Chains A and B, each alone.
Chain A
Amino acid sequence: MFLALREMKHAKLRYVLIGFIMVLLIWLVLFVSGLANGLSSDNASSIQNMNTNYLVLQQDSDNRLTRSTISDNNLQDVRQYTEEGKATPLGVQMTTITKSGATKKLDITFFAIDVNSMLAPTISEGKMINQRTAHEIVADRSIQLEGFKLGDEIEDLASGETFKIVGFTEGQSFSHTPVVYMNFNGWSTISHQQTPNQEIFNTIALNISANQAKQIEKNLPNVDVISKDQALQGIPGYKEEQGSLIMMIAFLFVISAFVLAVFFYVMTIQKMNQFGVLKAIGAKSTYLARTIIFQVLFITIVSLLISISLTIGVSFILPDSMPFNLSTSLVFGCSILFLVVSMIGALLSLYRVSKIDAIEAIGRAV
């Protein structure tokens, strides 16, 4: 890349300036992506981490778990189409609690599960609740920040029932509130059962194939089968929060493409005569195109490396409470996308280069 490197070396300032813009753009993209990712898990990690791929909701619940009501009968119907242990009920109840004897309130979400099913969370401290107890729970670790400890009693303000924290789990939140796991004995004490002999819950978590999901959808008219991703979108605020951040990221990518496109287009137009001379002395169009591609890739890759280091550096000084989560795959994905976008930006210049006529060099004093 004889020409590409020498040109960049000679016109350092221009290329440093465009590189600087790219660094800022990529930095912002990575930062907002990390934030979107962090907010997403802060919002809905319980569903993201849940060992399920499809959920059964009552018909017309708008993909919202909290709006759906599923009965035991529905569960029996669904179980006809799934293998043993692949369909398990889940109760979801958003509520407000206090520590027994205190007045400070905290919003949480109760998840009622069959403690032996695939939905049982991993315990990081204490022990798991068993099937028989009615007043023991396992809570997400984040409520420790609010001063709750192992053995503390919590009071559900809606029902007045109290529960004892016997264990903590991690990465369990729903609509930005910590999730508290209980069994169905606990569930029946807090939910206002209309029909005493029939259990009512919100959804059925499934671990099945796409084909089985279609079967259930087709054969059971009063339920909808939705994917885990649809369920995430249905969490209050999730779609709006992610949507606005993703829009920002998309715009940044488009802006980057245009910034690169304009820069290289102007540079190319400026060099038309020079390219004409190069072609006259025998340079192929592909050689000139390669020079431009090399420069675009060079600037993008160097900017990416700087931005990634900056983002990682900044993530160390962010406070813990800031929901920032940048995974390797996210960085990798963003980088690939940036390379693609930069190539798209270079297309316009490549088109101009392909149209260069060597005759421009003759009879022209510049």
Chain B
Amino acid sequence: MEDLLLLEQISKVYGDGDTSVKVLDDVSLQVKAGEFVAVVGPSGSGKSTFLSITGALLSPTSGRMMIGGKEIHKLSPKKMNQLRLEKIGFIFQSSNLIPYLTVQDQLLLIPELSGMHHTNAKKRAHNLLDRLGLMHRKNHYPESLSGGERQRVAIARAWMNNPDIILADEPTASLDSERGRAVVQMLADEVKLHQKAAIMVTHDKRMLDLCDRIVYIEDGILSEKKKK
């Protein structure tokens, strides 16, 4: 199977000279289509930097990186912007929905940003909402949704641009374990269904059994434990 995400010897160094801090040290990772990878580590281990680089928000200091067969470690910030729009779906902590958009508009924002007014954008949005059980909420604003519903909207939004990879930054942080599990389950199902690659940064150990692989990160070094 093809690697949707490929990281080769990625390093990230902040500062320079004597005061430099190596946040990521020779990190390599491959994620295939249909794989759901959990990244676990204590705070300060480099999780956020790892996610920022994988999500094309930050350029690595050295190393090689490919998303969907495209090299991205040398792209300009503008190109990275475009890449995020087309190839990456983000799910943030506490969902980070836009407060003044209805559930349906949260999804329609994505085709609007890419400047392409797909005639089938609305149909796609409705399909996603339907699948995630949010159809009855499509004209509600985020403020009137429950935490679980918001996170489901965020998942639907991440799927809207049909990305190659999905990146989730502690998606269960603001949810109780039951709802959190339902959300991660939903995410896992979607990854399998559409054969995407997904990486979830979490420190919620209860969710790990839903993931295909678990990667530990500590002091900028990545290690993987094979699942039984």
* A positions within 8 Å CB-CB of B: 2-3, 6-7, 9-11, 273-274, 277-284, 287, 358-359, 361-366
Contact = CB atoms under 8 A, between A and B. Distances in A.
Given A10-B100, A10-B141, A282-B114, A362 B105 contact: no
A20 B6 CA distance: 55
The 6 closest A-B pairs by CB, nearest first: A282-B85, A10-B100, A363-B48, A365-B93, A282-B84, A277-B96
Contacts of A278: 98, 113
A280 B55 CA distance: 8
Nearest to B98: A274
Interface string B88-130: 0010111010111100010011101110000000000000000
A282 B112 CA distance: 11
Nearest to A363: B48
Given A6-B101, A361-B96, A364-B93, A280 B57 contact: yes
A185 B84 CA distance: 89
B38 to A, nearest CB: 16
Interface of A is mostly: helix
A361 B81 contact: no
B58 interface: yes
A2 B58 contact: no
B48 A280 contact: no
B134 to A, nearest CB: 18
A277 B98 contact: yes
Contact of B99 (A9, A10, A281, A284): A10
B100 A365 contact: no
B62 interface: no
Given A3-B98, A282-B81, A282-B161, 4 more contacts: A273-B96, A280-B57, A280-B92, A366-B94
Given A359-B52, A365-B173, A281 B101 contact: no
Contacts of A2: 105, 108-109, 112
Given A3-B109, A359-B57, A365-B174, A281 B84 contact: yes
> Which of the four size classes fits the interface of chain B?
35 or more
A366 B84 CA distance: 22
A2 B108 CA distance: 9
A11 B112 contact: no
Contacts of A273: 96
Contact of A6 (B51, B52, B90, B105): B105
B203 to A, nearest CB: 12
B93 A7 contact: no
A6 B113 contact: no
B12 interface: no
B169 interface: yes
Nearest to B92: A361
B48 A11 contact: no
Nearest to B167: A362
B82 interface: yes
Contacts of B51: 362-363
A280 B90 contact: yes
Nearest to A280: B90
A359 B92 contact: no
A280 B99 CA distance: 16
Contacts of B169: 362-363
B157 interface: yes
A277 B92 contact: yes
B86 interface: yes
Contact of A362 (B92, B113, B157): B92
A10 B157 CA distance: 20
B93 A279 contact: no
Residue among A273, A277, A284, A362 facing the most chain B CB atoms (10 A cut-off): A362
A280 B96 CA distance: 11
